[in-house]
Chains A and B, each alone.
Chain A
Amino acid sequence: MSQKNRLQDGGRIDRSKPLTFTFNDESYQGYAGDTLASALIANGVDVIGRSFKYSRPRGFVAAGAEEPNAVVQLGATEATQIPNVRATQQSLYQGLVAASTNGWPSVETDLMGLVGKIGGKMMPPGFYYKTFMFPQSMWPTYESYIRKAAGLGRASKEKDVDIYDKMNQHTDVLVVGAGPAGLMAALSAAQGGARVIIADEQSEFGGSLLSSKETIDGKPAMEWVAQVVAELNEFDDVLMLPNSQVNGYHDHNFLTIQQHCTDQFADRAPNGAVAQRLHRVRAKWVVLATGAHERPLVFGNNDVPGCMQASAVSTYINRFGVVPGNELVLMTSNDGAYQTAIDWHDAGRHVVAIVDARKNPQGSLIDAARERGISIMVGSGLIEVQGSKRVTGVSVAPLNESGDKVTGAVAKLKADTVASSGGWSPVIHLSCHTGARPVWDDEVIGFLPGPTVQKQLTAGAINGAFTTQAALSQGIQAAADALASLGLEVTDLSLPKTEEVIQDKAMALFHIPHNKPTSKAPKQFVDYQNDVTAAGIELACREGFESIEHVKRYTAMGFGTDQGKLGNINGMAIAAKALQKSIPETGTTIFRPNYTPVTFGAIAGRDCGELFDPKRFTAMHAWHVEQGAKFEDVGQWKRPWYFPKGNETMQEALNRECLATRESVGILDASTLGKIDIQGKDAREFLGRVYTNAWAKLAVGKCRYGLMCGEDGMVFDDGVTSCLGENHFLMTTTTGGAAHVLEWLELYHQTEWPEMEVYFTSVTDHWSTMTISGPNSRKLLEKLTDDDVSKDYFAYMDWKQMTVAGVPARVFRISFTGELSFEINVQANYGMHVWKALFESGEEFNLTPYGTETMHILRAEKGFIIAGQDTDGSVHPFDLGMPWAVAMKKPFSFIGKRGMQREDCVRADRKQLVGLKTVDPTVVLPEGAQGVFDPNAPIPMPMVGHVTSSYWSACLGRSIAMGFVKGGHDKMGEKVFYPLVDGRVVEAEICQPIFLDPKGERQHV
């Protein structure tokens, strides 16, 4: 198809660089410098999608971020799919592939359109609530239907092949928007010596000047832009970011900018290049120079393709050399839009008429239009458009002075394009992100940024300063304010001069009346993306929704990716009128981040795949990998889970590992256990306060197990702490709890007991820990050390400094398996050496490596708890059956003491930890299973506690479990039942949670 709407010359496109692209499977041609939108318009494509609710054909309305309809799916391959791309913001590149996100089976013949035609009455506002609420069980069905119909686009089904990046930035001044105000602000700030970042969503700087015929200092405006850009380039501390959307304005002047690095010119980033980058900017000052969006007027069938913002029409003509039609009718309430009719006429196309709602407008642009012989119909309104897939004509009627009533006969005009302008709405979105409420201004006929606590300045059209001259002047002023606050010198910049334009007062017109009442008139769209009509808003108000926030939610106005850019002000004006209030009384809804959709890629940056989360490895990790260990994540640690041999199943491997340990010797890499070095003359007293048991008498060379509780008396961590010296202790914590415990100790030391002399240091990574466990563990250790490890010299719960495999080691005779055990700690650098030496010496004892799962089984056979598995923050030491670990008589009221004595904590029927033996020894209870005393009780059955640990014990030849049972400590020998999801009911006997060697004879040898 030829570019039938392309002008012979003009515009900022390069006609020597044709580009081929595909839209909805058709091939088209555009030029370098085009957006996808301008290229499609050049090719005469009118229908870009179907509307959300009524499935009406929709075309281009705007030329920028505010475009509500032309939201497309981008991507030439499955892996490069990007949903929710505005065609108006997407630069054209060779080979671009885009498709409508809405419309089934196609945008041209849409089955849903039938629903739209007959369904107007079927889909009133609030149709979600009215239609889809009941029955609730159907919601998933409704949702999938709505999602498909809503055309939200889709994510790629394949892995994204592109690289994304994040960058942290600090700057003195961040200027948002590179139009006249922003450029002026950036230049002034840079010249004052400030570090500056200036970002703009467009591929080129210039903002409104990109599509303007204005002059600055007597030269075409874009020459001035080029000069400013060149000057900014000279500064080392100025970062210019085109193709970069400032999407979020967060607390303390933290802003996020999504920079499109390569996806503006290629479907896939060239090898190694970053496709998009998210700049996380902390700015001392922010200058919002975000400009304004033109407000289209609301009239009958104003969504028919061919109805556009007046300024968008000018942009397509002036910037892209594309005229979006042949016969134009312009509907306006202000002078500025006359420029569009002038541009259209000057492009050699026919202006049918300018329809102005005002009775007697006077101004330079109006004169210019008259000089061109363009017919102007004053005091009139365009009340309705004819056509379905393209405008074919319009109806115009005289209006009364206030513009709310049709006062005369309706005239029909032939036209294929309607440009409309109801004035300009400042782009205040970013200013709202941090919670500032916008303020209505009658002069501007729009909302202005509200008072804020952020270090934020505004310049240009965002303040309602709609002329280029005012924008330039405000840009200088904003920079001066920022510089003054930064203590930098303000250099006097001469203010560039623009031509003077005399403009008449605009009329506050939002909704053009029809000769029929709104509810009977053709649909008058307010929010195109969500299909919200004037009649819908009036209905919502009639149905009692008086708050604008409720009207928004009831009608869906301002929802979705559009965030009310185009329609919100019109909608509020219509609601205000229906509620017989003023617009400031009605108020506005708040715009939220992000301003436009941000890809997940940009948000994730490099924090994906291998880099998603840090990984921690022990010094022996490579050995575990070599041995084919299966790993499990414990916090960020990668711990061996079990070590399968050959074709062993997991259970077979566990059985072998358990038996080898109990029969000879096994070894566990326990390096991940948290280790905190505690020193100071008050270290001992401190331990006594944070642990529930007594520490006053622990001698040097001795180890002790302790429970740590919160002030509520509930256990949150446990571990063995050893006395290294009179004022020196080594505390071990659970692997996952180490950081929390350290912070807990610091909290109490710094806030409650700062007078105590005690110091804490994490030494987790400094030591490699390997636990050898089993009847032959002493024999094994003896082979590697000359030190005395005999029973009499080295007793249970002692630790010794010795030499193992030629390196200095701290060896602890502590046991988490109930076997004779030695926990060998060496400097981490020696870890692998000692580990390998143990295996060399251990061959004769069949030294068997085991992982966390076997560790769990072995400790459960002994009834040792795991904090976080057998505790859940609601159990105290007595619930756990560990009164021996609580020293109630300690002089200082230790943390948890008062808490565990509260009324609720001393109830007899608390859930208490017990052992559970299934009546059928082959059945292993699922962990988490809920117990009941009476399996025949009516549903809902009273639940009496859950299974916390449950395993097959190869050593005992039966299943074992621990769990909570109400009043369980007094129910030994009684039965408890576990009704399972699959219908089985497992019967178990309550017992002491020690299944093996209750007297502890095995570890005391």
Chain B
Amino acid sequence: MFHIFCPHCGEYREEEEFHAKGEAHIARPLDPDACSDEEWGEFLYFRKNPRGIHHELWVHAAGCRKFFNITRNTQTYEILEVYKLGETPSVVAE
């Protein structure tokens, strides 16, 4: 069970307080109506599934209700950093 540092609360909390929301940095197209079906499908359904470093969106659901990002190693389950929305991760896959 993960021990997650909420960057908004400034504390480590148990995984039970959080919800994982999938891959981070999936931006909604600014003009959805201009997207082809293929482009919209890409946005809707296609996600990375890397072995290793992965950026994920989480929410402190039973806490401050704020969203933030986690850089996590999917192989070792290490959380390498947490960072707020709009920030860029400092740990990235090679």
Which residues of A are interface residues toward B (Cβ below 8 A)?
250-254, 282, 434-435, 453, 711-712, 742-743, 746-747, 750-752, 754, 893, 897-899, 902-903
Which residues B5-50 have CB closer than 8 A to chain A?
14, 19, 21, 27-28, 31-33, 35, 37, 40-41, 43-44
Contact of A899 with B44 at beta-carbon distance under 8 Å, contacts A743-B61, A752-B28 already known: yes
Task: Please determine whether A898 and B33 come into contact, CB atoms closer than 8 angstroms.
Answer: yes
B31: contacting residue among A750, A752, A893, CB under 8 A: A893
A752 CB, nearest partner CB in chain B, Å = 5
* With A252-B1, A746-B65 as contacts: A897 and B44 at CB distance below 8 Å: no
- Check if B44 sits within 8 Å of A743, measured CB to CB: no
* Beta-carbon contact of A893 and B32 below 8 Å: yes
Alpha-carbon distance A282/B15, docked complex (angstroms): 12
Q: Which residues of B contact A754 (CB under 8 A)?
A: 85-86
Residues of chain B having any CB pair with chain A under 8 Å:
1-3, 14, 19, 21, 27-28, 31-33, 35, 37, 40-41, 43-44, 57, 59, 61, 65-67, 73, 75-79, 85-86
Contact (Cβ within 8 A) B41 A902: yes
Contact A897 B33 (CB under 8 A): yes
Chain A min CB distance to B26 (Å): 9
CA distance A751 to B57 in the complex (A): 10
Q: How far is the CA of A591 from the CA of B77 in the complex (A)?
A: 18
Give the residues in chain A near B3, CB-CB below 8 Å: 252-254, 282
CA distance A127 to B81 in the complex (A): 49
Q: From B57, which residue of chain A is reached at the shortest CB distance?
A: A751
Chain B residue at smallest Cβ distance from A742: B65
Q: A750 contacts B1, CB within 8 Å? A: no
Q: How far is the CB of B64 from chain A (nearest CB, A)?
A: 10
Q: CA separation between A525 and B3, bound complex, in Å?
A: 43
A747 touches B21 (CB 8 A): yes
A selection of 26 A-B contacts at a CB cut-off of 8 Å is A251-B1, A252-B2, A253-B3, A254-B3, A282-B3, A434-B77, A435-B76, A453-B76, A711-B44, A743-B19, A743-B65, A746-B59, A746-B66, A746-B67, A747-B21, A747-B59, A750-B66, A750-B67, A751-B67, A751-B85, A897-B33, A898-B32, A899-B44, A902-B37, A902-B40, A903-B37
A893 to B73, CA, bound (A): 36
Residue of A nearest to B78 (CB): A453
Q: By the criterion CB–CB under 8 Å, are A712 and B44 in contact?
A: yes
Complex Cα distance, B78 from A711, in Å, reads: 31
A728 and B94 CA atoms in complex are apart in Å by: 48
How far, in whole Å, are A877 and B31 apart by their CA atoms in the complex?
A: 22
**Inter-chain contacts of B43 with A (CB < 8 A):** 711
Closest 10 CB pairs of A and B: A898-B32, A252-B3, A893-B32, A251-B77, A453-B76, A750-B67, A254-B1, A453-B78, A893-B33, A752-B28
Q: A743-B59, A747-B21 are in contact. Are A250 and B1 (CB under 8 A)?
A: yes
Residues of B within 8 A of A453 (CB): 73, 76-78
Q: Compute how far the CA of A897 lies from the CA of B78 in the bound complex, rounded to whole angstroms.
A: 38
Query: Which of A250, A251, A751 is most buried by chain B, counting CB atoms within 10 A of its CB?
Result: A751
Nearest B residue to A888 via CB reads B33
Point out which of A712, A750, A903 has the most chain B C-beta atoms below 10 A from its C-beta. Answer: A750
Report A713 CB to chain B, min CB distance, Å. Answer: 10
Q: Which residue of B lies closest to A436 (CB)?
A: B76
Query: In the assembled complex, which residues on chain B have CB atoms less than 8 Å from the CB atom of A750?
Result: 66-67, 85
CA distance A746 to B19 in the complex (A): 13
In the assembled complex, which residues on chain B have CB atoms less than 8 Å from the CB atom of A902?
Answer: 37, 40-41
Residue of A with least CB distance to B73: A453
When distances are taken between beta carbons in the complex, the residues of chain A under 8 Å from B2 are: 251-252
Q: Which of B27, B35, B57, B73 contacts A898, CB < 8 Å?
A: B35
CA distance A893 to B43 in the complex (A): 15
A743 and B64 CA atoms in complex are apart in Å by 11
Q: How far is the CB of B87 from chain A (nearest CB, A)?
A: 13
Other A-B contacts than A251-B2, A711-B28, A743-B65, 14 sampled, CB-CB below 8 A, are: A251-B1, A254-B1, A282-B3, A435-B75, A453-B73, A747-B21, A751-B57, A752-B27, A893-B31, A893-B32, A897-B32, A898-B33, A902-B40, A903-B37
Query: CB-CB < 8 A to B66: which residues of A?
Result: 746, 750
How far is B65's CA from A505's CA once the two chains are assembled, in angstroms? 62
Q: Is A898 a contact partner of B40 (Cβ separation < 8 A)?
A: yes
Q: Roughly how many angstroms separate A784 CA and B21 CA in the complex, as a whole number?
A: 48
B10 to chain A, nearest CB (A): 17
Nearest chain A CB to B57 CB, angstrom units: 7
A897 to B33, CA, bound (A): 8
B84 (CB) vs chain A CBs: closest residue: A750
Question: Considering the chains assembled together, what is the distance between the CA atoms of A747 and B66 in angstroms?
Answer: 8
Contacts of B35 in A (CB 8 A): 898
Taken together as a complex, chains A and B put the C-alpha atoms of A746 and B85 apart, in Å, by 13
